[in-house]
């Protein structure tokens, strides 16, 4: 049971307020703040799944993902040269990444066929998201190099982030927390079912 004091009524809170000098075993002194626990973020903070080096054999998650089932890897769709996968640490619900199978770091290293399918899968991701969840807009882009913000700079990937009017709120700014209304496995199934075929 999560116990906090203050804030709006919470069914997990005790029926009567805790006295101000109460000390919870292992929990410290209650304050006026509610808590939103996101233990799944600890893996990201600790760098779990990050490659140990720039090579494909050094733990690149974008090289490992295609060797797993779609459900295990959260792959939405597979093409001949690229695939679409959900971001494990999404900016918004439905945040898709388009990745080439080939381990390369720079957009200019894609050959013509990879580049065409990369663009096609970006279009299909937009179409699937529109069908599945009706976003009002999108952020689409890539970060080339770690100084540009790439979390995994050694393997090219493009972000397709659905956006809705009013989807920005105080949580990311003040709480440094994103609120996602759906589990990733459920989002993956929804988008896989809505993925346009050729």
Residue 96: give its domain's CATH number. Answer: 3.30.428.10
Quote the domain boundaries for residue 109.
54-194
pLDDT tens for each residue of 37-72: 666 666 666 666 666 666 667 778 999 999 999 999
- Which residues are known catalytic residues? 157
Q: Which of 25-29, 53-57, 60-64, 96-100 has the lowest mean pLDDT?
A: 25-29
| 15 located within any domain | no
Look at residue 37 in the predicted model and tell me its pLDDT. 64
| 12 located within any domain | no
Look at residue 5 in the predicted model and tell me its pLDDT. 42
Look at residue 168 in the predicted model and tell me its pLDDT. 62
Q: What is the dihedral of CA 90, 40, 156, 116, to 10 degrees?
A: -50
Look at residue 52 in the predicted model and tell me its pLDDT. 64
| 91 located within any domain | yes
Q: How many structural domains does the chain have?
A: 1
| 11 located within any domain | no
DSSP state at residue 182: S
Q: Which of 5-14, 55-64, 161-170 has the lowest mean pLDDT?
A: 5-14
| 132 located within any domain | yes
Report how far residue 159's alpha carbon sits from residue 69's, in angstroms, rounded to the nearest whole number: 21
| 61 located within any domain | yes
| 23 located within any domain | no
In the numeric block, the tokens 């805790």 are attached to 18
């Amino acid at each position: 049971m999560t116990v906090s004091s203050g804030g709006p009524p919470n069914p997990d809170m005790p029926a009567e307020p805790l006295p101000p000098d109460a000390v919870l075993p292992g929990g410290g002194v209650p304050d006026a703040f509610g808590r939103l626990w996101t233990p799944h973020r600890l893996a990201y903070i600790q760098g779990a799944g990050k490659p140990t080096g720039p090579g494909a054999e050094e733990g690149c998650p974008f090289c490992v993902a295609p060797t797993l089932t779609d459900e295990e890897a959260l792959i939405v769709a597979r093409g001949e040269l690229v695939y679409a996968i959900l971001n494990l640490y999404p900016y918004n619900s439905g945040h898709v990444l388009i990745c080439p199978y080939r381990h390369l770091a720079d957009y200019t290293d894609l050959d013509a066929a990879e580049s065409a399918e990369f663009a096609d899968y970006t279009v299909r991701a937009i179409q699937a998201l529109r069908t599945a969840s009706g976003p009002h807009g999108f952020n689409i882009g890539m970060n080339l190099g770690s100084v540009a913000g790439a979390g995994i700079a050694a393997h090219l990937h493009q972000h397709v982030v659905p956006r809705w009017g009013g989807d920005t709120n105080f949580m990311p700014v003040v709480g440094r927390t994103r609120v996602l209304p759906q589990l990733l496995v459920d989002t993956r199934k929804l988008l896989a079912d809505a993925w346009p075929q050729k």
